[in-house]
């Protein structure tokens, strides 16, 4: 299958600056939805699909919109993996890795440890009266929880977090920055070594973790398959809960009325989570490649065409979400796209939902009395392939 490197016949060509997308992609997405819902963007080297209904349609056709993209940045970063497979091979890899991340397992196996880790992190900062809640709490919490679920007993949370950042830099390296590739290569080499050590241990002593489950699956995975899929999980398993936590916490601190309602009715934390993930999607897009000619959004794409499913744009589609640019926990429930869809629905969604909405937010807002934003700090939202706060500086009444 040849890979077209220019716009499909009839597809609009839209020039977008990657630096502008990193700062704030949403104005560009709104214009694309309005005027060019499928457009060739030279700086990205693919067609961007930006309307909700078109993205959902593409997700339902993995036999046409294939995850097996030739030369994908993810393949270059981590090697063959479950996110870049479809059909029986995807099901085999996912079935081996998924059991420890299902809702019951999260509740029964991991929730107690998640809560203890959250309290330990808060114990370490409570007396200070100020902190960066991304650096000092959300990221180490997500990394420690992920190490537990994966079974990486030989990796510290700061290792996990650093590996995730460096691999995600590679996976979004559309500018082909050599330094970013070097960072990603160093991270993946370290992960390979850590996973190999754990695999040797759990072959003798199964522990219910993801690595152990892959080793002891009915159709066991080879070491390289385990290593590559652990890399993929580390990539998304830190940034998604970390970024949803930060964005949602800042949204509530900027909206005292909404914050007070949620604190009075803890059942609303689930709504906060889903609305945060819709409003600022932690993963903004992912690639697909067409296996055959197909018409979508009024354009006939040749076989081999590369398409980005821009789920961040779909989650702001005005035809689906009224006042889509606003943060509103009372909006009518509509399925958002933040965790993908179809066979590739995010495997870690239940872990993220529990650690953020059931634990992290409630504990932070209950334990840090008088929590408020540090107005002197510059906490920036950044990114378009992955998007989140670079920091969340806050103060509170230290005891």
Which residues are CB-neighbours of 243 under 8 A, at least 6 positions away?
280, 282, 386, 387, 388, 389
Half-sphere exposure in the Cβ direction for 56 (13 Å, CA): 11
In the chain, at which residue ranges do the beta strands (DSSP E only) sit?
A: 38-41, 46-49, 65-66, 130-132, 286-290, 294-296, 299-301, 306-309, 372-373, 381-382, 388-389, 393-395
Of the candidates 386, 96, 367, the one whose C-alpha atom is nearest the C-alpha of residue 213 is 96
pLDDT at 80: 72
- Residues of the chain predicted below pLDDT 50: none
pLDDT at 170: 78
pLDDT at 2: 56
Check if CATH label 1.10.630.10 holds for domain 18-395: yes
pLDDT at 73: 74
242 membership: H or E segment, kind and range? helix 223-253
pLDDT at 177: 83
- The full set of domain ranges for the chain reads 18-395
pLDDT at 60: 92
* Length of the chain measured in residues: 399
């Amino acid at each position: 299958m040849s890979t077209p490197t220019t716009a499909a016949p009839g597809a609009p060509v839209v020039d977008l600056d990657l630096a502008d997308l990193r700062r704030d992609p949403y104005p560009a997405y709104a214009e694309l939805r309005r005027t060019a819902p499928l457009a060739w963007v030279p700086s990205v080297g693919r067609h961007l699909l930006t309307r909700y209904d078109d993205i959902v349609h593409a997700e339902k056709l993995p036999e046409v919109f294939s995850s097996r993209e030739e030369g994908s940045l993810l393949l270059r970063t981590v090697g063959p993996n479950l996110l870049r497979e479809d059909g029986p091979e995807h099901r085999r890899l996912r079935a081996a890795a998924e059991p420890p991340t299902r809702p019951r397992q999260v509740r029964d196996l991991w929730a107690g440890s998640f809560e203890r880790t959250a309290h330990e992190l808060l114990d370490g900062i409570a007396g200070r009266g100020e902190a960066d809640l991304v650096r000092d709490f959300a990221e180490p919490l997500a990394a420690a929880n992920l190490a537990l679920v994966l079974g990486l007993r030989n990796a510290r949370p700061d290792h996990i977090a650093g590996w995730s950042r460096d691999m995600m830099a590679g996976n979004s390296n559309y500018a082909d920055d050599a330094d970013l590739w070097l960072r990603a290569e160093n991270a993946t080499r370290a992960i390979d070594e850590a996973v190999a050590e754990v695999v040797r241990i759990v072959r003798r002593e199964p522990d219910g973790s993801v690595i152990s489950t892959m080793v002891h699956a009915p159709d066991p995975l080879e070491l390289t398959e385990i290593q590559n899929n652990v890399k993929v999980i580390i990539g998304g398993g830190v940034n998604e809960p970390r970024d949803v936590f930060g964005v949602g916490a800042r949204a509530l601190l900027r909206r005292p009325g909404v914050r007070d309602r949620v604190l009075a009715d803890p059942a609303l934390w689930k709504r906060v989570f889903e609305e945060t993930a819709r409003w600022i999607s932690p993963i903004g897009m992912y690639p697909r490649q067409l296996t055959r000619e197909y018409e979508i959004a009024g354009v006939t794409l040749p076989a081999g065409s590369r398409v980005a499913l821009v789920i961040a744009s779909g989650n702001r589609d005005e035809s689906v979400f009224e006042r889509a640019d606003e943060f509103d926990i009372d909006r009518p429930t509509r399925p958002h796209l933040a965790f993908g869809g179809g066979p590739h629905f995010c495997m870690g969604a239940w872990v993220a939902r529990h650690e953020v909405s059931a634990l992290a937010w409630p504990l932070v807002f209950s334990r840090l009395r008088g929590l408020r934003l540090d107005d002197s700090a510059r906490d920036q939202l950044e990114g378009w392939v992955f998007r989140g706060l670079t920091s969340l500086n806050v103060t509170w009444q230290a005891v």
